[in-house]
Amino acid sequence: MNRRIVVKIGSSSLTSDEGGLNRDKIEYFASELAALRELGYQVLLVTSGAVAAGFRRIGYPRRPKLVHEKQASAAVGQALLMQCYNEAFARHGYAVAQILLTRADFSNRKRIDNALHTLEELLQHGVIPIINENDTVAVDELEQKFGDNDKLSALVATLIKADRLLIVTDTDGLYTDDPRKNAEARRIERVGVISEELFRMAGGSGSSVGTGGMRSKIEAARIAVRGGVPVFVGKAAEPGDLALGVGEDGKGTYFETSLHTLSTKKQWIGFHSLAHGRAVVDAGAETALVAGGRSLLPAGVVGVEGDFHPGDVIEVVNRAGDVLGRGVVNYAAWQLQAAAGLSTEEVQRRVDVSRIEVIHRDEWITLAPQGLQSENGGVPR
């Protein structure tokens, strides 16, 4: 079976600071990805750059801020972007395919299954899928994007069960502080657990032509490693850099994981579905869910938020508001409010539900960092 690599390239790596595509950069990345193909990898490219490529061609003096201006820029820029990629990869003998996705595509299980089948067919025939967010129709997502496609790349990597996700950025990985301002800042070579401290180290958006920063890359890494996909975040500017990133000698930070890839069902529960509400749980239930791989029972619930129905996905949080995970709920919101804190025997007497568990462990995925090594849905290798 061919090994699969997802490579995400952001706007700042493809365009000039003023906007517009840099063909030399696109030629470089096409050459790097073609080299990975020659090494026997199946390659999927998640690319940004449509808005940055298009706004100058339309006539905007700077990157637009209004939604309709961004959408118009993306409509023009996406055609320019694919034209450049098509020409660059053709010089190496590879065909490419355009895949445009939105957050709603991932939320709909039928649509994302169809997208997966399309990707599998393209890979089977040696075509390189080039994936981007469909900015021309994604109104809400345009303002609350995947993070310059960082999150999109993580979702794609888990969907196709990639062997590694490479997120290319203009810095050589994650540092303890901003190296441009602090000479004592040191690069973090490897990350085993993604903690809140890592997010505090991350800064804001990285450039004037992109929307993502290191924080969004850490969030993408959190999704990917939870799905069993190791991640490299770093720089690629010289021949062979992507191959180094696939190995263990890349110019950046490696996010490691000991978890198996998730089933399609658990991927959907954890990352693709829309949460319809929340259940707040006590410390005992938190331990049972995160460390014990147990189901959530009504006795551990101390609060209910939102309006949901049996079969909906909800988040589970602790008293501090930290998200512990997600699961398919067996109660309507009003039923769970009535059952919260009650013993199993009391619930059976008072509430008419088909299953006593609020969330069964088979319908649950842990997202809390401390649970990554113990949750039953992802047994360490």
Q: Tens digits of per-residue pLDDT, 345-358? A: 999 999 999 899 99
Query: Does pLDDT of 262 surpass 80?
Result: yes
pLDDT score of 16: 79
Name every residue whose Cβ is closer than 8 Å to that of residue 263 and which is 6 or more positions away in sequence: none
Within 10 angstroms of residue 139's Cβ, the number of other Cβ atoms is 13
Question: What is the mean pLDDT of the segment spanning 114-132?
Answer: 96
Specify the pLDDT at position 47: 95
pLDDT at 139 over 70: no
CA angle, 41 then 3 then 220, to 5°: 95
Say if residue 34's pLDDT is above 50: yes
- Does the reported pTM lie above 0.95? no
Q: pLDDT grade, residue 225 (50/70/90)?
A: very high
Sheet holding 3-9, edge to edge: 96-101, 128-133, 41-47, 3-9, 164-168, 231-235, 251-255, 190-191
Q: What is the pLDDT of residue 209?
A: 41
Percent pLDDT > 70 in the chain is 90
Phi/psi-derived region of residue 173, left when phi > 0, alpha when psi is between -120 and 50, beta in every other case: left
pLDDT of 140 strictly over 60? no
CATH architecture of the region 3-261: 3-Layer(aba) Sandwich (3.40)
335 phi and psi, to 5 degrees?
-70, -40
Average of per-residue pLDDT across 174-182: 84
Give me the pLDDT at residue 7, please: 98
User: What phi and psi, each to the nearest 5 degrees, are found at residue 213?
Assistant: -130, -175
* Interval 82-95 mean pLDDT: 97
Q: Give mean pLDDT, residues 265-285.
A: 93
pLDDT of 381 reads: 29
Give pLDDT, residue 2: 65
How many Cα atoms sit within 13 Å of 178 on the Cβ side? 9
pLDDT digits (tens, 9 = 90+) for 180-213: 888 888 999 999 888 878 887 776 444 444 444 7
In the sheet that holds 313-317, the strands lie side by side as 301-306, 277-281, 313-317, 323-328, 364-366
Which class does domain 275-371 fall in?
mainly beta
In this prediction, residue 323 carries a pLDDT of: 93
| 346 residue type, one letter | E
- Mind listing the pLDDT tens digit for each residue in 317-341? 999 999 999 999 999 999 999 999 9
Q: Indicate the domain borders of the chain.
A: 3-261, 275-371
Report the chain's mean pLDDT, rounded to a whole number. 88
pLDDT at residue 372 above 80? no
More confident residue, 2 or 69: 69
